[in-house]
Amino acid sequence: MVPLIGFIVLVIDLYIWVVIISAILSWLIAFNVVNTSNRFVYTVAEVLYRVTEPALRPIRNVIPNLGGIDISPVILILFLLFIRDVVLLGWVLPAVMPSSGM
């Protein structure tokens, strides 16, 4: 059970990095730093969009419109950190770890 929890923690960590990279790439596209007519940039942006949008869309539907500021990646990252640190490492892992025999 412990290796499974470690794997889930690793997947959550990787997904947090994907969300961060997606947010940075969206800023770079919005400020015309990178050009989406480049096929590689378009492909990377499309993959990141398809991976992150299913998790970000429900958050965007709940939070109010803040103008041009999108805080849904921050909320998603905070939620994932809560799941990783509090639920998995704080509650589940101590419950499944064998006792030290004291």
If you ran DSSP here, which 8-state letter would residue 64 be given? Answer: P
Q: Which one-letter amino acid corresponds to residue 100?
A: S
Residue 76: how many other CB atoms lie within 10 Å: 20
83 within a domain of the structure (yes/no): yes
> What is the reported pTM?
0.89
Predicted pLDDT at 83: 96
Predicted pLDDT at 59: 95
3-state helix, strand, coil in the chain (%, to 5): 75, 0, 20
Predicted pLDDT at 2: 87
- How many folded domains does the chain comprise? 1
Quote the domain boundaries for residue 8. 2-93
100 within a domain of the structure (yes/no): no
If you ran DSSP here, which 8-state letter would residue 56 be given? Answer: H
102 within a domain of the structure (yes/no): no
pLDDT at residue 85 tops 90 = yes
